[in-house]
Amino acid sequence: MENVIILGAGIAGYTAAIYTARANLKPILIGGPEVGGQLTLTMEVENFPGFPNGVQGPELMQMMRKQAEKFGTQFIEGVAKRFDAKGDHYEIQVGEQVLQAQTVIVATGASAKWLEVPSEQQYKGRGVSTCATCDGFFYRGKEVIVVGGGDSACEESLFLTKFATKVTLVHRRDQLRASKIMQDRVFKNEKIKVLWDHVVEEVLGDGKHVTGAKFKHVKTGQVTEMKTDGIFSAIGHVPNTKIFEGKLELDEKGYLKTDRFMHTNLPGVFGAGDVQDIKYRQAVTAAGTGCQSAMEAEKYLENLEN
């Protein structure tokens, strides 16, 4: 019987591992399908405290993993495919292995939806991004494209106008899905142009960075190209909560519901990071909730002993 099992090897999971390991709880961390989380897709991180010159996303995750390992975290590579409550403990299946724990920290994250067009994967972190807050600063004085039509796409577009000289919002329909107030802000901003009835067909680049995009008009089928320095996909995220359906309380979009102390609806199960954060999705907020969930798990275990 383990004290704590942590699901997810992103910044929230690693932070939870560091805290629970330092509390001598000997945590087990199950990596999942995206080891390192969203930060492995961000080449330069300049808004995480303590790095005045910035840090590479993959490098930061490697350092956090080493820190968790240093204090005694045990890592299991694999994907959890079953989660069950068993009276006073929980069972998690990874491959053919079944683990039991008194507490579980769910930090499985939310995966960004990609456009799934040619060359997109090649230019991830080199002109293709899913986070304007993370990468917008690098497009000062440049032109960018945002793909989407909801509130997130509008928010990303407006944020990018702080840096970019021109933002083209590309939407596949002839009207936005965003709230009225967000649409009004977009239409009033002189830096934003909306390209209606178009979808991205291909990401163009020079082998090192994005140089443009190829579009198709959804009604006429006409294909055109546009020069751009960056492409931001803002078509949403998918929380990684499938194995918890019907067992943990989720919201209408599948995000894990937690209270302000990271508690879920089951005692001893806590949530951290993007799996329960529908608003901020930042490295520093994920680290904060990872810390909170770890401290709550430690307190829960202490109460069991008493």
131 classed as catalytic: yes
Q: Is 124 helix (H, G, I), strand (E, B) or coil?
A: strand
- Residue of 84, 88, 131, 277 marked active site: 131
Q: Which residue has the tokens 């490098």?
A: 59
CA distance 276 to 288: 13
Query: Are 112 and 10 a contacting pair, CB within 8 Å?
Result: no
134 is catalytic: yes
Question: CA distances (Å), 7 to each of 48, 179, 191, 270, 284, in order?
Answer: 23, 35, 42, 10, 19
Contact 72, 18 (CB under 8 A): no
| Catalytic option among 84, 88, 135, 259 | 135
DSSP 117: -
C-alpha span between 26 and 53 (Å, rounded): 34
- Point out the catalytic residue in the list 134, 154, 229, 274: 134
Name the residues annotated as catalytic: 131, 134-135
